[in-house]
Amino acid sequence: MTERTYVSPFLRQLLAVSGVVMYMIGTGANIAFPGVLLQQLREPDSVLRLTAEHESWIASILGLALISGIVVAPFSLQKLGRKLTNQLSSLPALGGWALLATAKGPTALLISRSLQGFGMGIQAAAAPVSIAEYSSPKNRGAFLATIAFSFATGMLIAHVFGTLLYWRAAALACGSVYALSLLLVSLTPETPPYLASRGRNDPCRKSFRWLRGFDHNSEKELEILLNSQKKAPVGRKVSKCTAYMDIARKPEFYKPTVIMMFMFILFQVSGMTVVPSYTVPMMDEVSGDTSAIDPRVSMLMVDVVRFVTAVFSCFVVNKLNRRTVLFIGIIISVISLLVAAMLLYLRDFGYIPEAYHWAPIIPTMVYIFGKTLGILPIPWAIAGEVFPLEYRSLGSGISGMFLSVMFFVVVKTAPFSFEQIGVKGTFCVYAGAIAICGVFLYFLLPETKGKTLYEIECYFKGVKGDDGHVELHEGEKMLELEKVECG
């Protein structure tokens, strides 16, 4: 089937993805905003006075609120669809930023952060699923890598606005991205896989062709998608508990869940959310008390390195294998963290001249580069690919639970860690945790680059196709799939 289209499929997919990207920019701003908010509230003329306990809760409560959003997300994704879930998740985020901008006390700040976290929780499950289902295999890697770009952009925006503007005005500026997200999401159709899973074949064809065009390969993929969702005959009825136990025993469900558990633990223990929340005090110690580098300048240096690397990662993830990018990021992060910690210890013992007390900044920036290149984008790319369509909502919700719990634990304990063992000790802990997660993922994670979502599903099921076969590379546990249609 052929038909002339005046807008390329790539641009249509880009429009569909852009609404989710804008939301994730807001998420990056949510994570980073305490770094400037708390700094301004510590000023002597601040209208709000916070205790150290208030500060740690304002930075970490997003993690607890994420849990509530993630609990809701699987049901919303399954019952309401990807598009409506994306739209509804914007509302608590908008309300949270509005309340933050008008807050009169610590309680209002905590409530506003909770609203932001609730919306983030829903979107943490919805974003990778939505982007993966909107994208063709050719573009999926780059589009999923835009989640990393979005985080970095949001963090940069929050710190720039928070440096240049009063915190109330900065909150309104950061919150405005959710209004743009809501508009862009409203302009795009529902994802084809969701429509297929609900038996809405005609709307599915219309949405798929709007996104992917009418070429032969796309039409073949469309028919495979529709055929894969034909309902089997209804068997005996079982309780929900039994049904969930049956799902948990299926390799296409538990294998991706274990992979994503380690992925999101890696994401958090790498300091992905700690660094934006506590950039100023961290960089204050790294740069040295006698350094001429202002901590706020160091904060913007971190943001710029993160942003430039995130832009670079969009191209890298689309060109190189997922595993390659991930393990490059892991290796760079571990080595640079250990080098930075060693330099900090040497400086404390007086082995580094005062004129070079700034030296730990260099490996710290390399660490920011490494984690942003591989550890930031790949978990989100994999999250959108590994779960089969039937369990995608549930799997995203469960794996997102690990993300939110680790978010709270890591960010809440960071001030205590900085106080008890210093930034240098914290760097050593993070390096060890990253290395441990990396070892597990080396043996668990298959390669998904260039595969259709249906091919990846077939791999985890271990099903041989009608006109091909599944091979597993023994050395690296990587997937090599022929073009198959599962029997």
Per-residue pLDDT of 237-267, as tens digits, reads 666 677 778 887 888 888 999 999 999 899 9
Residue 484's pLDDT is 38
pLDDT tier, 209 (very low <50, low <70, confident <90, very high otherwise): very high
pLDDT tier, 190 (very low <50, low <70, confident <90, very high otherwise): very high
Is the per-residue pLDDT at 483 higher than 60? no
Q: What is the mean pLDDT of residues 137-166?
A: 87
Residue 76's pLDDT is 92
Q: What is the mean pLDDT of residues 315-331?
A: 91
Q: What is the mean pLDDT of residues 336-347?
A: 94
pLDDT tier, 293 (very low <50, low <70, confident <90, very high otherwise): low
Measured from the Cβ of residue 256, the count of other Cβ atoms closer than 10 Å reads 28
> Cα–Cα distance between 239 and 153 in angstroms, integer?
46
The tens digit of pLDDT for each residue in 398-411 reads 888 888 888 888 88
pLDDT tier, 2 (very low <50, low <70, confident <90, very high otherwise): very low
Q: What is the mean pLDDT of residues 230-235?
A: 52
Q: What is the mean pLDDT of residues 284-288?
A: 81
Is the per-residue pLDDT at 12 higher than 70? yes
Q: What is the mean pLDDT of residues 376-383?
A: 87
Is the per-residue pLDDT at 233 higher than 70? no
Structural domains of the chain ordered from first start: 9-188+242-444 (1.20.1250.20)
β-pair partners for 470: 481
Q: What is the mean pLDDT of residues 164-192?
A: 94
Residue 477's pLDDT is 37
Alpha helices in 229-321 (DSSP H): 240-248, 251-269, 274-277, 279-287, 295-319
Nearest to 337 by CA among 425, 407, 416: 425
Between residues 294 and 384, which one has the greater pLDDT? 384
**DSSP letter at 358?**
T
Residue 176's pLDDT is 94
- Computed over every residue of the chain, the mean pLDDT equals 84
- Tell me how far apart the terminal alpha carbons of the chain are, to the nearest angstrom: 25
Q: What is the mean pLDDT of residues 301-306?
A: 87
Residue 486 φ then ψ, to 5°? -60, 140
> Cα–Cα distance between 180 and 457 in angstroms, integer?
34
pLDDT tier, 21 (very low <50, low <70, confident <90, very high otherwise): very high
Map residue 49 onto helix, strand or coil: coil
Between residues 151 and 183, which one has the greater pLDDT? 183
Contact 309, 152 (CB under 8 A): yes
> Cα–Cα distance between 428 and 9 in angstroms, integer?
46
Is the per-residue pLDDT at 102 higher than 90? yes
Q: What is the mean pLDDT of residues 132-140?
A: 87
Is the per-residue pLDDT at 434 higher than 90? yes
pLDDT tier, 50 (very low <50, low <70, confident <90, very high otherwise): confident
Between residues 418 and 244, which one has the greater pLDDT? 418
**DSSP letter at 214?**
S
Q: Going by C-beta distance under 8 Å and a sequence separation of 6 or more, which residues neighbour residue 137?
A: 450, 451, 452
Q: What is the mean pLDDT of residues 113-122?
A: 93
Measured CA distances, 441 to 188, 262, 327, 457, 476 (Å): 35, 7, 9, 19, 10
> Cα–Cα distance between 367 and 275 in angstroms, integer?
11
**DSSP letter at 384?**
T
Nearest to 390 by CA among 163, 255, 281, 230: 230
Residue 165's pLDDT is 92
Q: What is the mean pLDDT of residues 373-385?
A: 87
